[in-house]
C-alpha cells in the first residue's frame, strides 16, 4: 500500500512539474521531410475545384496545385487554398491554448469549429498565433479550417512581397502549425540583452498575473550547469513587462568565431510552487555601429564576409528542414564566410538557431522588395519579426525592407521590442550611419575607401549571374574594402541558384530565365568555381601566394584577418609531393614529406612570416601544399605552389624507339611528314596542321597554330631536313601582330612546336589555338590548376595538381554538373586530350600557360548586354598567355577593377614551346 501511494505521489509530482512547461502539439508536420496530410481544395490552376489531400507544411505549387509565379510575372494568379484538419484536444483544464502558424502565404483566415480564431493575418513570412482556448471542445475532435489567399487583399502586402519582386512567389501553409498550451498565468515572451561586460537584462512579458508571483531567472550553460545563483523580482501587475538584471563575471562571449551560448530558465512562482517555466538560449555579446568608424562585436572591429540567402529548396520551395539549414550554414562557413543576410524576409527560426550555434552574423530583414508595407500592417509585422527573433545573438542588424521598400514610419518600431537597440538599416541606402550601396563598381569602392565617412558594407554586390560575379573581381574589390577606414565587409548576391523543379513541366529546373540563376552554389547546393575563390580570398589566414623558385627559404608571409583568434590557436600542415606522369592511370600525387610548422603567435590584424622549416632537398619535389586549420580543426584553405618548372617536367617525357627515318610527301595541297609511323599533314597554303594519321586511325587536330583573335596572312612556308630532323616553318603577318611557327620532327621524340609572336593594342586573349571536333572529345587529364575553370579576374581558389574530368556541356546556373569541362584552365604543364580517335598529350615548356578547352555554351536566357559571356578565340583548343575576364549581371568586366581589364599587348615578343605526343 505504501509503495503504491509513493508511486502515485511520484506520478503526480512528475505530471505537475511537466505541466508547468509549455506543451507543444504539432497539427502539421515539422518540415519538408516530415509532413501531415490535410484535406485541401485549390480554387484555380492545376488540380483545382476538388477536395483532395496536401502535405502540410508545403507550398501548394510544388505539390501539384495552382500556378507558378515569379515576382516579375505580369499576370499573377489569385488562387485560394482551403484547408481542413481534424485534431484531438485534451482536457487542458485551467490552461491557455494558442494555435501558432510559423508562416503562411499570404492572407490567412483561421476557423476552429466553425468560429474565426482571430483577425485575418496578412504577411507571408511571419509567425502569428490566436488564443483558441474558448473555441476548443475538450477531450474531443476539433475541426481546423484555414483559408489562404495567394494574393493579399492589402495592396501594400502584394507590393512588398509579390508585385515585381525578384524571387518566386508561392502560396500555402509552408511552415509548421502547432498548439501551444500554457498555464493560465504564463510567460508570453521575453527579450534578452546580455552584453560582453557580463551585464544581463531580461525583459519578461507575463500574462494574467495575480500579484503574488515572483519572476525568477537562472542562467545556465547549455548542458544545464547553473551559472551563479538564481535572481528574481516580485511581480508588478502595473507593468507590461518585468525587468530582471544581473551581472556575471567574465562569461564566455559569443561571436562568429567562438559561438558560445548560454540558456536562461525563467519561471513564474507563487507560494504553491512553479506556475510556468520557459527556457531561452542566448549569448553574451555587445554589438556596436560606431559612427564614422566601423562595426564592432565585443569591442573588436568586424569585417562581415557574407552572402544573401533565400530560403529555398527545388522540390519544396520555401518549406525547408533542419538538415538544409545546417548544410547551408556549414557551406557558408566552409567558404570562410562569417555573415549572412536574409533575403528578403525572415527565415525559419531554426536557421537562426543554427547561425547561433555555428556562428554567423545575421542581417534579419522585413520584406519589402522595392515597395513597402503600409504603416498599419507594417507595425504588426515588425512586431512579429522582432518578437520572434530578438533573442538570437547571431542577429546584428535589422533590415527595414530592401531597395526602396522602406517604410520610414517603421524605423523606430524595432527598438520597441529590442532592448539591445540593434541598428536599423535600409539596404541600398546611406542611412543611420551606414552605406549599404548595392552593386558598386570598382571606382565606387576606391572613392568610398578614400573619402567615405559612413560605415561601408554593400548588402548586395558581385552579382553572381551564371558564372559571372561572386568570386570574379572579388580580389580587387576586397583589396579596397580592406583599405576602407570604415569598411565593414559586404554580402555577395547570392548564395544559391533559385531554380525550382516544375511539376507541371516534366520535372525541369526553372530559374525564371536569367532572374534567379545567380548563386555561388546550385539549387541543390552544387559548388561553382567561385565557391573556392571566395574561400581563398576570405580566408582569415590570409596568404597571397607568389611563385616560388630555388631561392625560396620556406618562409611565407601571413596576415591574421580574424577578429578574435590568435594564430597560436590554429594549426598548419605542409606536404611536398611528386606528380604522376601524363600516362599514369592515377591522378593522386605521391607525398614525399610532411611537416607541421611551429605555432606562431600572431594576433588579429598582425602580419608576420610563417616558417615552414622545409627539409634541405625540398626543391627536388614537384609541388608544395600548405593547409591551415582553425581552432575547430576544420580546414580554412589549402594553398599550393609549383616547384618543378613546366620545362623540367616536359624533359621527363620517355623517348620512344625510332621506327625509321623521316619521310616526306607532297600533294597539290598538302605536305605530309612521316615520322615513327605517324603521318602529319600540313596545308601548304596556310601552313596549318590538317590532321595526324596513325596506323590505328586519324586524329582530327587541325587549323593551327593560329594567332588567337587576329586574322593573319601567311607570308612564308618552308620545310627542310636538318641534321636528322625535319623542320616546317611558317610566318604570318597582320596589322595588329605577327606570328612565326617552327615544327621540329625527330624520330623517337614528341613533335616540338616553337612559336613567337608580337601583338599590339588591347586583347581579350593572347596565344595560339587549334581545332579539334568537340563531338569527338571524351575528357581530359592535366597537370595545372584545377579542377575548375578560371577567368582573368577569378584565378584564386584552384589547386595545383593532376586533374581529370569527363566531357560535359554544363552551362553554369542552368545545368549543375560541376566542374564545367569547357573554359580556360590555369598554369597548365601538360594535358591529355581524351577522344574517340586516339588520345594525345601536349606539354608546354612555359610557365603560366592557360589551356583553352572548347567554347562554353551560351545560356538559354543570356542577357543582351553579354557581361557574363567572356570572349573566346575562334579555335577551340588553345595555349594562351592571357585570357579574358568576366563581368556581373549589372556591370561589364571593365568597370570591375584592375584584374578585370583587357590584356594590353605592347608589341613585345612572346615565345612559347609545346611538345605533341601522339605515340604514347
Q: For strand 455-456 and strand 434-435, is the pairing parallel, antiparallel, or unpaired?
A: parallel
Question: Is the pLDDT higher at 4 or at 643?
Answer: 643
List pLDDT tens digits, range 888-912: 999 999 999 999 999 999 889 999 9
For the sheet containing 635-642, what is the strand order? 590-595, 571-578, 623-629, 635-642
- pLDDT, average across residues 545-573: 96
- pLDDT, average across residues 140-149: 98
H/E element holding 721?
strand 713-722
Rounded to two decimals, the pTM is 0.96
Residue 72's pLDDT band (cuts 50, 70, 90): confident
Q: What is the mean pLDDT of the chain?
A: 95
Angle at CA 458, nearest 5°, toward 350 and 296?
70
Residue 862 has pLDDT above 90, yes or no: no
Exposure letters 603-620 (e unless 16+ CB within 10 A, then b): ebeeebebebebeeebbe
Residue 444's pLDDT band (cuts 50, 70, 90): very high
- Residue with cell string 578574435: 564
The answer to whether residues 190 and 242 touch, using CB atoms and an 8 Å cutoff, is no
**Among 726, 774, 743, 736, CA closest to 877:** 774
% of the chain with per-residue pLDDT over 70: 98
List pLDDT tens digits, range 242-283: 999 999 999 999 999 999 999 999 999 999 999 999 999 999
Q: How many CB atoms are closer than 10 A to CB 723?
A: 6
**Among 863, 864, 826, 823, CA closest to 847:** 826
The answer to whether residues 589 and 595 touch, using CB atoms and an 8 Å cutoff, is no
Q: For strand 304-309 and strand 339-342, is the pairing parallel, antiparallel, or unpaired?
A: parallel
85 - beta bridge partners?
Answer: 144
Q: Could you tell me which residues come within 8 angstroms of residue 572 by beta carbon, excluding any fewer than 6 positions away?
A: 596, 597, 600, 610, 612, 626, 627, 628, 629
Q: How many CB atoms are closer than 10 A to CB 374?
A: 16
Q: Where are the alpha helices (DSSP H) in 30-163?
A: 155-161
**C-alpha dihedral sign at 345, 349, 350, 352:** positive
Which of the residue ranges 82-91, 733-742, 798-807, 843-852 would you say has the lowest mean pLDDT?
733-742
Helices H / strands E in the chain, number of each: 10, 62
List pLDDT tens digits, range 302-339: 999 999 999 999 999 999 999 999 999 999 999 999 99
Residues 608 and 605: their CA atoms lie apart, in Å, by 10
Give residue 659's pLDDT: 76
Residue 593 has pLDDT above 50, yes or no: yes
Amino acid at each position: 500500500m505504501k509503495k503504491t501511494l509513493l508511486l502515485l505521489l511520484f506520478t503526480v509530482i512528475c505530471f505537475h512539474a511537466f505541466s508547468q512547461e509549455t506543451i507543444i502539439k504539432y497539427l502539421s508536420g515539422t518540415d519538408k521531410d516530415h509532413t501531415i496530410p490535410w484535406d485541401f481544395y485549390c480554387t484555380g490552376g492545376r488540380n483545382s475545384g476538388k477536395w483532395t489531400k496536401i502535405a502540410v507544411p508545403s507550398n501548394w505549387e510544388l505539390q501539384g496545385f495552382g500556378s507558378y509565379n515569379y515576382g516579375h510575372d505580369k499576370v499573377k494568379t489569385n488562387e485560394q487554398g482551403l484547408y481542413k484538419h481534424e485534431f484531438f484536444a485534451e482536457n487542458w483544464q485551467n490552461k491557455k491554448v494558442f494555435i501558432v502558424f510559423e508562416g503562411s502565404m499570404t492572407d490567412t483566415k483561421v476557423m476552429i469549429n466553425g468560429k474565426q480564431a482571430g483577425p485575418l493575418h496578412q504577411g507571408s513570412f511571419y509567425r502569428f498565433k490566436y488564443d483558441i482556448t474558448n473555441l476548443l471542445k475538450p477531450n474531443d475532435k476539433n475541426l481546423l479550417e484555414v483559408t489562404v489567399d495567394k494574393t493579399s487583399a492589402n495592396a501594400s502586402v502584394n507590393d512588398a512581397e509579390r508585385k515585381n519582386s525578384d524571387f518566386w512567389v508561392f502560396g500555402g501553409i509552408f511552415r509548421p502549425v502547432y498548439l501551444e498550451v500554457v498555464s493560465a498565468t504564463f510567460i508570453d515572451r521575453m527579450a534578452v540583452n546580455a552584453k560582453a561586460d557580463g551585464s544581463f537584462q531580461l525583459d519578461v512579458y507575463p500574462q494574467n498575473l495575480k500579484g503574488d508571483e515572483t519572476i525568477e531567472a537562472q542562467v545556465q550553460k547549455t548542458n544545464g550547469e547553473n551559472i551563479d545563483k538564481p535572481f528574481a523580482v516580485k511581480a508588478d501587475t502595473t507593468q507590461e513587462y518585468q525587468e530582471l538584471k544581473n551581472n556575471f563575471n567574465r562569461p564566455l562571449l559569443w561571436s562568429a568565431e567562438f559561438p558560445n551560448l548560454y540558456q536562461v530558465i525563467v519561471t513564474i512562482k507563487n507560494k504553491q510552487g512553479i506556475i510556468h517555466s520557459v527556457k531561452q538560449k542566448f549569448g553574451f555579446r555587445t554589438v556596436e555601429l560606431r559612427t564614422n568608424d566601423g562595426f564592432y562585436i565585443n569591442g573588436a572591429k568586424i569585417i562581415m564576409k557574407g552572402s544573401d540567402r533565400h530560403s529555398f529548396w527545388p522540390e519544396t520551395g520555401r518549406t525547408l528542414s533542419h538538415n538544409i539549414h545546417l548544410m547551408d550554414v556549414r557551406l557558408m562557413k566552409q567558404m570562410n564566410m562569417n555573415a549572412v543576410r536574409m533575403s528578403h524576409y525572415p527565415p525559419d527560426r531554426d536557421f537562426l538557431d543554427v547561425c547561433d550555434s555555428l556562428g554567423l552574423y545575421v542581417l534579419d530583414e522585413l520584406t519589402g522588395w522595392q515597395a513597402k508595407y503600409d504603416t498599419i500592417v507594417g507595425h504588426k509585422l515588425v512586431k512579429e519579426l522582432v518578437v520572434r527573433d530578438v533573442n538570437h545573438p547571431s542577429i546584428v542588424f535589422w533590415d527595414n525592407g530592401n531597395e526602396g521598400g522602406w517604410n520610414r514610419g517603421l524605423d523606430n518600431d524595432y527598438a520597441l521590442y529590442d532592448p539591445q537597440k540593434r541598428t536599423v538599416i535600409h539596404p541600398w541606402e546611406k542611412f543611420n550611419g551606414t552605406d549599404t550601396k548595392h552593386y558598386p563598381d570598382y571606382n565606387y569602392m576606391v572613392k568610398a575607401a578614400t573619402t567615405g565617412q559612413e560605415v561601408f558594407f554593400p548588402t548586395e554586390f558581385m552579382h553572381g549571374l551564371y558564372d559571372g560575379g561572386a568570386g570574379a573581381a572579388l580580389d580587387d574589390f576586397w583589396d579596397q574594402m580592406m583599405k576602407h577606414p570604415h569598411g565593414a565587409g559586404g554580402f555577395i548576391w547570392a548564395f544559391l541558384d533559385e531554380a525550382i523543379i516544375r511539376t507541371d513541366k516534366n520535372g525541369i529546373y526553372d530559374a525564371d530565365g536569367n532572374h534567379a540563376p545567380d548563386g555561388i552554389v546550385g539549387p541543390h547546393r552544387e559548388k561553382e568555381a567561385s565557391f573556392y575563390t571566395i574561400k581563398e580570398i576570405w580566408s582569415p589566414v590570409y596568404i597571397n601566394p607568389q611563385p616560388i623558385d630555388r631561392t625560396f627559404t620556406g618562409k611565407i608571409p601571413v596576415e591574421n584577418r580574424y577578429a578574435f583568434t590568435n594564430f597560436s590557436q590554429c594549426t598548419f600542415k605542409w606536404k611536398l609531393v611528386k606528380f604522376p606522369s601524363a600516362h599514369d592511370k592515377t591522378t593522386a600525387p605521391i607525398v614525399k614529406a610532411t611537416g607541421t610548422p611551429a605555432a606562431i603567435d600572431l594576433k588579429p590584424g598582425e602580419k608576420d612570416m610563417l616558417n615552414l622549416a622545409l627539409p634541405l632537398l625540398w626543391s627536388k619535389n614537384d609541388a608544395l601544399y600548405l593547409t591551415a586549420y582553425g581552432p575547430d580543426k576544420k580546414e580554412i584553405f589549402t594553398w599550393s605552389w609549383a616547384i618543378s618548372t613546366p620545362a623540367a617536367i616536359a624533359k621527363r617525357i620517355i623517348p620512344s624507339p625510332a621506327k625509321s627515318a623521316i619521310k616526306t610527301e607532297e600533294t597539290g595541297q598538302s605536305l605530309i611528314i612521316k615520322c615513327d609511323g605517324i603521318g602529319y599533314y600540313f596545308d601548304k597554303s596556310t601552313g596549318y596542321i590538317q590532321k595526324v594519321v596513325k596506323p590505328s586511325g586519324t586524329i582530327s587536330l587541325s587549323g593551327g597554330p593560329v594567332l588567337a583573335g587576329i586574322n593573319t596572312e601567311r607570308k612564308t612556308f618552308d620545310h627542310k631536313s636538318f641534321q636528322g630532323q625535319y623542320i616546317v616553318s611558317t610566318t604570318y603577318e597582320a596589322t595588329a601582330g605577327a606570328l612565326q611557327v617552327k615544327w621540329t620532327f625527330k624520330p623517337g621524340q614528341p613533335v616540338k612546336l616553337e612559336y613567337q609572336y608580337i601583338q599590339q593594342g588591347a586583347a581579350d586573349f593572347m596565344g595560339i589555338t587549334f581545332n579539334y571536333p568537340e563531338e569527338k572529345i571524351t575528357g581530359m587529364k592535366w597537370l595545372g590548376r584545377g579542377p575548375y575553370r578560371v577567368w582573368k579576374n577569378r584565378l584564386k581558389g584552384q589547386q595545383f595538381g593532376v586533374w581529370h574530368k569527363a566531357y560535359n556541356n554544363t552551362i553554369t546556373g542552368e545545368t549543375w554538373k560541376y566542374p564545367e569541362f569547357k573554359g580556360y584552365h590555369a598554369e597548365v604543364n601538360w594535358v591529355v586530350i581524351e577522344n574517340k580517335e586516339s588520345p594525345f598529350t601536349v606539354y608546354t615548356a612555359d610557365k603560366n600557360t592557360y589551356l583553352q578547352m572548347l567554347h562554353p555554351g551560351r545560356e538559354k536566357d543570356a542577357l543582351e548586354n553579354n557581361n557574363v559571356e567572356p570572349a573566346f578565340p575562334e579555335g577551340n583548343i588553345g595555349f594562351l598567355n592571357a585570357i579574358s575576364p568576366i563581368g556581373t549581371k549589372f556591370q561589364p568586366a571593365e568597370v570591375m577593377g584592375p584584374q578585370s581589364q583587357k590584356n594590353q599587348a605592347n608589341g613585345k615578343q612572346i615565345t612559347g614551346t609545346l611538345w605533341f605526343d601522339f605515340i604514347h
